A and B are shown apart, each in its own frame.
Chain A
Amino acid sequence: MAERWDRTRVLAMAPDAPSQRTAQQLASGRAWPLTGAAEAGAVWGECRGSAAAPYRTVVDLSGPAYRCSCPSRKFPCKHVLALLLLWADGTVRDDPGGPPDWARSWLTARAAKANRAQPGETAEPKDPKAVARRAEQREARVASGLAELDRWLCDQARHGLAASQKHGYAHWDDIAARMVDAQAPGLAERLRALASVPHSGAGWDGRLLEEYALLRLLAVAYRRQAELPAPLRETVRSRIGFSRRHADLLADGPPVRDHWQVLARRDLEQDRIRVRRTWLRGRKTGRNALVLSFAAIGQALDESLTVGTDAGADLVFYPDAMPLRALVLAKHDVIDGSPPAGGTIGELLAGYATALAADPWLDSWPAVLDVTPARSPVLAVSDAAGDALPLHPGTGECWPLFALSGGHPVTVAGEWTPHGLWPLTAWDEGGTAVPL
């Protein structure tokens, strides 16, 4: 039968924290008079709700895909999550009789659809001329989009940023939408994120100017890409939103084999997509790597890299000016990791400066530090040399980090950004990694 998931994987599917809570409350036998699972990878159940008829919930684990008769507009709804929690706990028994009719009909319809979809995936040989024409069209669209963005940015600087605080979200959403039309999704995302800057407190004007300036730099760099060295051109294009094909990646360079320490990870939500950023560091090579994984809202993110472990793996790096982003090509083994060697703040900043020289748009850099956290006058960490760095304002109170440290030095891994350190993992006295 399908391997039972663990609870973490189920809870990771939840669209938000309240859903996780209600699902856990609902994951009790009392609410589920009928449950069952099938070897082929399906779980179903009837849940007593506020309505007279029970809600009928069915999950196809291969997708995972799910369906529930409740009116909730969250996907997956609490019933799906609760049912999977019960299944993960071993409370749902395999039912050799198979699913009841209402579940069977949905499951078979899904299976039929999946079979139909299969032949389409064997890609028809593409017409190379058509491919080239489409690529050319896209370049033209991006070029005109970037020219428009450049004009828009200069208009902001001409009329003054002081008006920004009076603009609504639409001000940035409009230009972002035009970048989507111009097939430059990377720029659209950056622009949408700017809408909150004018209300981000003291220093907002400087932060907004920084972003506008770096955006124009990107527009100029694209216009003059022929003059750029190949890796920098790659970086410019990927930041604009050109995607890179895995096949090209593999042809580009040899994979790097190492024992990769899984240092930290951070999950972000961007425009209906969840992004998991996992930071690795090679024990032998000392190289930093960033592995991204994506999932639609409601789908589980990749759990294969666990913080605190060492993964023996082959990684291929994207051919960027500052090669950081990588793909896991093959994973050989996973062992419990020991804490990484923490560095000093001076080393961190020097490393970031070198990376910026290669890629001025880089705003997230892996940090592994031996530091003592402090709270006043701002949340900060300081190292043995007396150097200090502020924590990112977005991290909140960061109590677990302080509790773990108790005023003593502690090894912390996280992301260094221009606005402060975002701590993600700390190691306790026993050497166990604790996600913060």
Chain B
Amino acid sequence: MSTWQDLVTASLIGTERAGVPLAAVPGLPFPADAPGGPADPAALLLDRAALLTAARRGGRRAGRPEIGSAPLPAADPDPAPPVSQAAARRLARILRGEHPDLLAEWLAVAVARGRTAPAHLLPALLDRARRVSPADPELRRLAAEAGGSRARWLAGLNPDWRYVSAHTLADDDAWRLGDAVQRRGYLASLRARDPGAARELIAGGWAAAGPDERLMFVKVMASGLSLADEPLLEAALGDGSAWVRKMAAEVLATLPGSALARRMAERALGCLRLHQGRHGTRLVVVPPAQCDGVMQRDGISPGPSTLIRGPASQAHLVLEVLARTPLRTWTGEFGRTPAQILALPAGGWAPVLFTGWARAAIAQRDRTWITALVNWALAGGLPGTPSDVETLGELVRCMDPAFAVTGTAAGVLAAMLPGVREAINVLRFRYQMLKELHDDDSAG
């Protein structure tokens, strides 16, 4: 329709200086003007433009060659079925900003159950995993796996999501040729499939790796941990980088039967003893005299005040040791259940012991201890300073999610300590989330 372009050109110049082109519409007499048109050329131009506008809009033909000429390749069908609709809605809520830190768990459960995330949420999911975690390969790996073949297909369309292919490459190209993110992704994914193979890859690459990569190695080893990993981690305690040393100590402390755990247990038993007195049994705390080099090598930080040997730094050392000690040390040595141990009087040391045990219980994912600690707090054992309440909140988050919806304890706790209410809300959200992920009835 060249007459339309002529009209546009004339309108740009203005009818003061340009003539009004005639309008041609197929099927109408030429020129296509209504009878009795206006004398003003400007009005005439607008009238002709109106006629052509309606004619062009109504007469538009599909399939103009410049549009959609390059069809996309079709995505492979995914053998894994999608999650239930309720689970899909839950994922949408998480991606919109509700309890974002539960995203990894949602993905992990979906992956473990061999289900995929709904296709329409993948763009938001892949964006989130890309933005949130350049340093957290786990979320990217989970997003890539939960996204299945559709996520790989999308990654081919948007360079922002190319990390997806790093986590799903069948060969080890990502490891040999990839950048730091891709190598990390490959290693994390290998670790999940075959922990031994990942360990060998790490051992082989250790000498040539820089400090950042060594830190990444240790972080990757934290999942799928076994005693076979110990020699490598124990050697890392003498690493040149302080961050690597610290992370290795943290990982080893959660490994039951490791030499570090045994050393820690020895120290802990020196710190905390049962005392049979005339008024019954109680706990006695003997803080370590100092934080020697061996202790520091095992990851214990000397604390804020190494020079001032005050009570604050003593409490700090006790807490650091307790937090890294295998919890079965106590039940074994004292011959009591966690609840019985907590019931023993400990005087002014009680809050320190509570925090130390709480950190150990969370790191070692020990449900019995977590429940005992929460119950102890519920029974009024906790004075309730802000940091105690925060610790309690962290414990509650690690509880069996059913706690939030079954027992009345959760309600009591929330009413008693508003600071814990958020943790109970998270737990309730998680309970619903896990239920939906395990419920396949409504899978669509």
- Chain A residues packing against B (C-beta within 8 Å): 7, 20-21, 24-25, 28-30, 32-33, 89, 91, 150, 153-162, 205-206, 209-210, 212-214, 216-217, 220, 345-346, 349, 352-353, 356-357, 360, 372-378, 380-382, 385-390, 399-404, 406-408, 418, 426, 428, 430-432, 434, 436
Closest 5 CB pairs of A and B: A29-B421, A160-B14, A430-B444, A406-B75, A387-B62
Question: Could you tell me how many residues of chain B have their Cβ less than 8 Å away from some Cβ of chain A?
Answer: 66
A209-B11, A353-B59 known; 19 new pairs, CB 8 Å cut-off, are A28-B421, A29-B421, A33-B418, A154-B46, A157-B42, A158-B14, A159-B14, A205-B12, A216-B47, A356-B54, A360-B54, A374-B68, A374-B71, A377-B67, A380-B67, A380-B68, A381-B68, A388-B64, A434-B120
Contact with A along B70-96 (1 / 0, CB 8 A): 111111000000100100000001001
CB-contact partner of B58 in A217, A356, A382, A385, under 8 A: A356
In this complex, the member of B59, B63, B154 whose beta carbon has the largest number of chain A beta carbons within 10 angstroms is B63
CB distance from A367 to the nearest CB of B (A): 12
26 contacts between A and B (CB under 8 A): A25-B97, A30-B422, A160-B14, A162-B12, A162-B14, A205-B8, A345-B63, A352-B58, A353-B58, A357-B58, A360-B53, A360-B54, A377-B69, A387-B63, A388-B67, A389-B62, A389-B67, A403-B123, A406-B150, A406-B153, A407-B75, A408-B75, A428-B119, A430-B82, A430-B444, A432-B444
CB-contact partner of A91 in B41, B58, B93, B425, under 8 A: B425
| Residue contact A407 to B72, C-beta cutoff 8 Å | yes
CB distance from B200 to the nearest CB of A (A): 37
| Residue contact B68 to A400, C-beta cutoff 8 Å | no
| Residue contact A205 to B63, C-beta cutoff 8 Å | no
| Residue contact B75 to A157, C-beta cutoff 8 Å | no
> B residues within 8 A CB of A150?
43
Chain B's closest residue to A430 (CB) is: B444
In this complex, the member of B13, B158, B418 whose beta carbon has the largest number of chain A beta carbons within 10 angstroms is B418
CB-contact partner of A436 in B54, B59, B93, B120, under 8 A: B120
CB distance from A27 to the nearest CB of B (A): 8
> B residues within 8 A CB of A157?
11, 14-15, 42-43, 45-46
CB distance from B33 to the nearest CB of A (A): 13
In this complex, the member of A32, A155, A214, A399 whose beta carbon has the largest number of chain B beta carbons within 10 angstroms is A399
**Distance, CA A254 to CA B149, complexed state (A):** 52
CB-contact partner of B46 in A153, A428, A431, under 8 A: A153
| Residue contact A374 to B70, C-beta cutoff 8 Å | yes
Q: Is B17 an interface residue (CB 8 A)?
A: yes
> B residues within 8 A CB of A389?
62, 67-68
> A residues within 8 A CB of B16?
158-160
CB distance from B175 to the nearest CB of A (A): 28
Q: Is B40 an interface residue (CB 8 A)?
A: yes
| Residue contact B418 to A29, C-beta cutoff 8 Å | yes
CB distance from A385 to the nearest CB of B (A): 8
Q: Is B441 an interface residue (CB 8 A)?
A: no
**Distance, CA A80 to CA B71, complexed state (A):** 48
Interface residues of B in 110-160 (CB under 8 A from A): 118-124, 150, 153-154, 157-158
Q: Is B7 an interface residue (CB 8 A)?
A: yes
Chain A's closest residue to B158 (CB) is: A399
| Residue contact A428 to B444, C-beta cutoff 8 Å | yes
CB-contact partner of A403 in B18, B93, B119, under 8 A: B119
| Residue contact A213 to B119, C-beta cutoff 8 Å | no
CB distance from B406 to the nearest CB of A (A): 16
| Residue contact A376 to B70, C-beta cutoff 8 Å | yes
**Distance, CA A431 to CA B60, complexed state (A):** 31
Q: Is B319 an interface residue (CB 8 A)?
A: no
| Residue contact B49 to A418, C-beta cutoff 8 Å | no
Q: Is B424 an interface residue (CB 8 A)?
A: yes
| Residue contact A216 to B43, C-beta cutoff 8 Å | yes
> B residues within 8 A CB of A404?
119-120
Chain B's closest residue to A432 (CB) is: B444
| Residue contact A213 to B71, C-beta cutoff 8 Å | no
Chain B's closest residue to A203 (CB) is: B8
Chain A's closest residue to B53 (CB) is: A210
CB distance from B143 to the nearest CB of A (A): 13
CB-contact partner of B72 in A7, A32, A374, under 8 A: A374
In this complex, the member of A403, A407, A436 whose beta carbon has the largest number of chain B beta carbons within 10 angstroms is A403
> B residues within 8 A CB of A210?
49, 53
Q: Is B98 an interface residue (CB 8 A)?
A: yes
The answer to whether residues A386 and B63 also contact, given A30-B418, A157-B46, A161-B12 and a CB cut-off of 8 A, is: yes
**Distance, CA A352 to CA B50, complexed state (A):** 17
CB distance from B148 to the nearest CB of A (A): 10
In this complex, the member of A352, A390, A400, A431 whose beta carbon has the largest number of chain B beta carbons within 10 angstroms is A400
> B residues within 8 A CB of A161?
11-12, 14
Q: Is B419 an interface residue (CB 8 A)?
A: yes
CB distance from B158 to the nearest CB of A (A): 7
The answer to whether residues A213 and B70 also contact, given A389-B62, A428-B444 and a CB cut-off of 8 A, is: no
**Distance, CA A21 to CA B12, complexed state (A):** 45
**Distance, CA A414 to CA B155, complexed state (A):** 26
> B residues within 8 A CB of A431?
444
Contact with A along B406-444 (1 / 0, CB 8 A): 000000001000110110110000000000000000001
The answer to whether residues A29 and B63 also contact, given A210-B53, A212-B49 and a CB cut-off of 8 A, is: no
| Residue contact B424 to A399, C-beta cutoff 8 Å | no
CB-contact partner of A209 in B7, B57, B69, under 8 A: B7
> B residues within 8 A CB of A378?
66-68
CB distance from A30 to the nearest CB of B (A): 4
| Residue contact A160 to B11, C-beta cutoff 8 Å | yes
| Residue contact A382 to B71, C-beta cutoff 8 Å | yes
Q: Is B376 an interface residue (CB 8 A)?
A: no
**Distance, CA A265 to CA B73, complexed state (A):** 30
CB distance from A400 to the nearest CB of B (A): 4
The answer to whether residues A24 and B98 also contact, given A161-B11, A216-B47, A349-B60 and a CB cut-off of 8 A, is: yes
Q: Is B4 an interface residue (CB 8 A)?
A: yes
Q: Is B61 an interface residue (CB 8 A)?
A: yes
> A residues within 8 A CB of B59?
353
Chain A's closest residue to B61 (CB) is: A349
**Distance, CA A149 to CA B42, complexed state (A):** 13
> B residues within 8 A CB of A418?
57, 60
| Residue contact A400 to B120, C-beta cutoff 8 Å | yes
> A residues within 8 A CB of B57?
352-353, 356, 418
> B residues within 8 A CB of A28?
421-422, 425
